[in-house]
Amino acid sequence: MDHEALSHQARAALDSLTYQLQSLEAQQSALLTSLRLTTDSLSPAPPSGTPTSIPNYHLISPIFSLIPTYTAKLTRLRNTMSSQTLEITQLRRRVEEVKRGRRRNLERVRERWERERERDRTVLRARMVGVMAGEEVVGGFTPKVVGEIGGGGGGEEDVLATAAGVALPGTPVTPTPPMSTPGAPEGNGIRVVKRKKKVRQAEMQ
């Protein structure tokens, strides 16, 4: 159950309890007033101190003797109602604080989600730019050299030429007819011309 539903139920219960306490307080006040009026009417009125002429007064006199006890009980009940009213006010304040804290937490979660989404977008854009740059390099037929070219200590000279027959500058290239396979179409492709340095030195001697 979330905080909003809990606060709604607590508010409804507090309102109902407050209404009941107010109704009980009004009834108690009416009862006290009625008891006071009845006591005044039954007390001996003549100044000479003669007993009252109300019939059967001795039967109801013990009941009137309990009025102070009921008054003390009503006073304690009134104090209890005051303390409960204070607790209700504090509980309402706590409910409002919980609601404000929940709103702050939701705002922080929303801000964090926005930052993570923006970071993901930035990473995705960077990856897309890298992929597009790689496609441009491949589409431009950039020549590459395989192995070492013209080293001082023996080896093979490997030159990678493009489809137009252009080799790297400064490297002697001897055109070699492509190997044709029966039934296979001929075409221009990338050719690697290899020449051993030792064989070339023997021919020069």
Average pLDDT per consecutive 10 residues, the chain (205 residues; last block may be shorter): 71 82 85 80 53 63 81 88 88 90 92 92 86 61 44 44 44 51 49 52 54
Say if CB 96 and CB 14 are below 8 A apart. no
The pLDDT value given to residue 151:
46
Give the global pTM: 0.33
The pLDDT value given to residue 47:
46
The pLDDT value given to residue 184:
47
The pLDDT value given to residue 118:
92
The pLDDT value given to residue 198:
55
Phi, psi of 188 (to 5 degrees): -85, 135
Residue 136 to residues 129, 130, 185, 201: CA-CA distances in angstroms? 11, 10, 29, 42
The pLDDT value given to residue 50:
46
- The DSSP secondary structure of 27-75, one letter per residue, reads HHHHHHHHHHHHHHHHS---TT-PPP--TTHHHHHHHHTTHHHHHHHHH
The pLDDT value given to residue 200:
53
